[in-house]
Structure 1
């Protein structure tokens, strides 16, 4: 780990190379994403750090063998509520979690108390997964939301699930490298090596035989960018696209994709993170740069904190986390304006999904790494092999779901337990370059020039 003082010295100022961005991009893909040579399977077995074995579900003093009401409170109560708590939970297991959370608190005070009790949801989840969950312990874990998410994923991706699949092929004529879903999955934005960023209207997807409306963003006939459109990030209805032409463009999706701002960087923009107060960019010249898109001069700071291109980024109001081809994970503390950690890795991280205190990342050997952030620092707590045969190019995690994509031509759906339980493997005819999930919709970027969409029934 490097100290903050050592990290400050990384702020070198290299000039632009002047190299043709398309040649640079092709060299990068050839080096990083092609001619895959994985380590021998036996030498890259997943590892786990020591963890105390669970000693059963902690229920805060509740006795599952007794009724949740007793004594004077039992008078006049429904016979259902006089049953042992664990039997009531068993009866509730036949109802959908979302229905329980929405309706039962309105019935009576006792049911409201049962629904608000954490053990209600912990018992329910434990019976569904029979594995350690969540992977990273946290005091404020939202058990009801996790239970709803988990049960819906199980229903959608089970053998008899009714998930619909659509392949959108009318927007791009080159591989698609980035996708982003907006407005609860009703809109999709995609970035491609044809230099275009396309906006797809998915509102009527599957309702008729008409093609899904799609339009390239920008007015330039040669493309949205002058280089491959490689990265995307959103903050509410504002979308930022990053390109190998070293520019970032911000689009107002609420105004039908109108260009709001054009920011010139120093090198190819390989990854982005977009927050209400800042835009963070990781670039080919080893830099992590921070911008304020609201300012007339948006650049706040730019630091070369890696020794190779920056491949992946995540950020919140406290940290900026970056992964690089130099096989390091760097944690920058926004509050003290300094590097907090520099973690040396065996492999490099292609993609990240972060919601404190959990950071999930996919690497160039097909492995998934989980980090926990407690006390201001990050520590690796797990490393999983979820079955990918080559680089993990995309990762998306919520409380109850985990999606991963890979150059092995698959998208996998998992429950984020320890270890993850794979629910479905969706095979494709080409590499899959990224994934995004919103509402009932899943989108994946395909090297076959398409945007792949899965939609769940209401």
Structure 2
């Protein structure tokens, strides 16, 4: 059994893996992807906001059990505002939140007070979502803006009949395992098991004029193995493959190749920052590169005991998840592992915007972590139902 020191140490003495990348990829898919079965667990239903709202009603500026009354300044209150507050909120629910914010405060002081009270927006959110919102408590949370964003998002996806579907069928002939949208969704990069990385121009979606370009000059494909991972930084896109290479493409120059880095093993995940490129690989390593240098490798650490499946990075941390069911936090400033979290399941994907880290595991759960003082703490787990 490997010790913690052995797992976390640099180990440059091992040679490059000689396993066939195609066989490795098939073994990986069979083990990690194809055999995933959701565990039968008795999960608690998502908590509701009922008690939170009751506290808000008792301590907030408005009392939902009383009707608004005319102000002491003699302002005449419309008869509508003499209705119970619950009915007023129900009537307001038929109005767009942007209209409520922009127009109602100009009508009278009572409506202005209603619109400015956060409980008004909390109640409105509760009608749309049954779980905790926001997922992570935040100081000075902007409830009106959050309500607008939430309702517009729900409206966009509420009626699937209004959603347009497009099939981009000419660019690949095998399964697509990585997709990346660029430039506000006008461009798309896709990586496939046909070994190609394709660049799509989506600005003419629906008129049959979508342009697709296979990146690279090789007739056998962009890579010599499955194109498995993608990451972007500004106009540069990096593609990682089971052939152990990372290729860098300049989207601003119509997808010309501007760099190539050869790793030790299959590249399963990437994070691309202005100063570094981080790669997680099949040989359990997390490697850091400077793509601008003639010798790009900066450091290579075997900090996991199984293949690295997902990672994120910023100017302070590199966070990686592995098939060994661990989440490892690497502190770039001290050049060492600062935290290791043991998980019940392994993580497939992660998204990080300080101070929140969201991660999806192989059991269909989303885990939310918060970063405080350089330490990540598990805050909540969400079950996504369809």
TM-score (norm 1): 0.70
Higher helix share: 2
Alpha-carbon contact 2:39-2:363 (below 8 Å) kept: no
Length-normalised TM-score, structure 2: 0.82
Distance 1:165 1:79, change over 3 A: same
Q: Displacement of 1:233 after TM fit?
A: 1.3
Contact 1:284/1:309 (CA < 8 Å) preserved in 2?
A: yes
CA distance in 1, matches of 2:173, 2:255: 21
- Structure 1 residue runs without a partner (length 5+): 388-421, 423-458
Per the alignment, residue 312 of structure 2 pairs with 314
Question: Is contact 2:187-2:203 (8 Å) kept?
Answer: yes
Equivalent residues of 1:326, 1:348 under 8 A apart = yes
Residue 112 (structure 1) shift: 9.2
Whether contact under 8 Å (1:80, 1:88) holds in the other structure is no
2:196 & 2:250 partners in 1: Cα distance? 16
Partner of 2:52: 55
Q: Residues 79 and 8 from structure 1, CA distance in 2 versus in 1: closer, same or farther, beyond 3 angstroms?
A: farther
Please state how far the C-alpha of 1:8 moved relative to its aligned partner.
8.6
1:131 aligns with 2:131: yes
Is the 2:224–2:243 Cα contact (8 Å) retained in structure 1? yes
1:244 pairs with one of 242, 245, 251? 242
Indicate the structure with greater strand content.
1
For residues 143-198 of structure 1, the C-alpha deviation after alignment (integer angstroms, 9 at most, x for no partner) is: 45533332133223324651112222111011100011112222111000111111
Point out which structure has higher relative CO (alpha carbons under 8 A, 6+ apart): 1
- 1:415 maps to none
Give the distance between the partners of 1:68 and 1:338, measured in 2 at CA: 63
**What's the Cα RMSD here?**
3.8
Q: Which residue of 1 aligns with 2:199?
A: 199
The answer for the alignment partner of 1:232 in structure 2 is 230
Task: Measure, in 2, the Cα distance between the counterparts of 1:375 and 1:368.
Answer: 23
| Corresponding residue for residue 302 of structure 1 | 300
The structure 2 residue matched to 1:338, chosen from 333, 336, 347, is 336
Distance 1:37 1:320, change over 3 A: closer
| Alignment match, 1:22 | 22
Distance 2:77 2:225 in 1: 68
Deviation for aligned residue 1:312:
0.8
| 1:323 Cα deviation from its structure 2 partner | 0.7
1:212 to partner: Cα distance:
2.1
Partner of residue 383, structure 1: 381
Q: Give distance in 2, aligned partners of 1:366 and 1:15.
A: 36
> 1:10 offset after TM fit, Å?
2.5
1:158-169 correspondence runs (5 A): 158-159=158-159, 161-169=161-169
